[in-house]
Amino acid sequence: MTQIFGIKNCDTMKKAFAWLEANGVAFEFIDYKKAGVAEAHLADWNQRATWQKLLNTRGLMWKKLSEDERADVDEAKALKLMAQYPSLIKRPVLDTGSKLLVGFSPETYAAELK
């Protein structure tokens, strides 16, 4: 079954949920802040989508980081930051088993999930 990872109250997540429901895609939602599963999945997600795609540098959590934390981000540092602060992971992360989609775009979902 398709799994969608994210944070329940996120507006982008709500759009993704609505799209999945409207298009009859069955899914399991996992709140990675509450379930604490982000760190366990990061290595796999990084292999399948790259840390650059996963790291949300436009959100509030990124802005709250210190200058030192935001400086010189490479793969190891990005993975460590996302494990420490799951809100830094771009939402949603949708795993179909064969595909990993990061972020929400109706066009991408339509192309990849039909």
Which residues have a catalytic role annotated?
10
Secondary structure class of 101 (helix, strand, coil):
strand
Instruction: With CA atoms as reference, report the closest residue to 6 among 65, 54, 51.
Output: 54
Sheet holding 100-102, edge to edge: 27-31, 2-6, 93-95, 100-102
